[in-house]
Amino acid sequence: GQNIDQPTEMTATEGAIVQINCTYQTSGFNGLFWYQQHAGEAPTFLSYNVLDGLEEKGRFSSFLSRSKGYSYLLLKELQMKDSASYLCAVQDSNYQLIWGAGTKLIIKP
Amino acid sequence: GAVVSQHPSRVICKSGTSVKIECRSLDFQATTMFWYRQFPKQSLMLMATSNEGSKATYEQGVEKDKFLINHASLTLSTLTVTSAHPEDSSFYICSARKLEGAYEQYFGPGTRLTVT
């Protein structure tokens, strides 16, 4: 079967760095996505990785290792507005997104 | 950009009635649109995938006669919840993809459905 695992909840301090991990087992692989979702809102796109390595975009970076079926989202200089759920999703061989359950990130002052 | 709109954003209806939700891609043509449902504190659940001009492909466990999907044009897909019941109350989100194989799905803002 297809499976995406990520922690249910994480807590971090404003100004700090946090890493959210995601492991996956899917039928084929056509890229891994990270989305941010604030409560009551639709997801917004953060990053896309299809090759191994680190993609940096401002305060957010995403890493992929296809051989390990592993990715992480790194958030630096945390701000209170970063409190949200972070969803990991893998695009399978049919270009369908398989979603993780999401990681709720709580930022404390 | 790639903007997707949904209408209505919130709807309250009585049990037994039908509700139609529209999903539009405003500045691009969407060959494929997806409909998701999300219950509180849970992740997105794909309900169905629709391609313009063809019948939607429903996920296992989703009743196609209850959730009617029409993808009549390259910019519009509709989801009709027929004979709604309180357990259908949820957050319904659509997304659109520009081209076959293109990697990103663009999400609409979602529709909060409450069935009383």
Q: What's the pLDDT tens digit per position in B34-76?
A: 999 998 878 889 999 998 878 899 999 999 999 999 988 889 9
Chain B neighbors of A41, CB-CB under 8 A:
109-110
Q: Does A90 have pLDDT greater than 80?
A: yes
Please report where in the chains the tokens 């492991």 appear, as a residue: A23
> What percent of chain A shows pLDDT beyond 70?
100
> Letter for the amino acid at A103?
T
How far, in Å, CA of A76 to CA of A18, rounded?
7
Q: Does B102 have pLDDT greater than 70?
A: no
Segment A53-71 mean pLDDT: 96
pLDDT digit string (tens) for A24-41? Answer: 999 899 999 999 999 888
Of A50, A96, A100, the CB nearest to B43: A100
For chain A, list residues whose CB is within 8 angstroms of any CB belonging to chain B. Answer: 30-31, 33, 40-45, 48, 50, 87, 91, 95-97, 99-102
Query: Could you tell me if A52 and A70 are in contact, meaning their C-beta atoms sit under 8 angstroms apart?
Result: no
Segment A49-61 mean pLDDT: 95
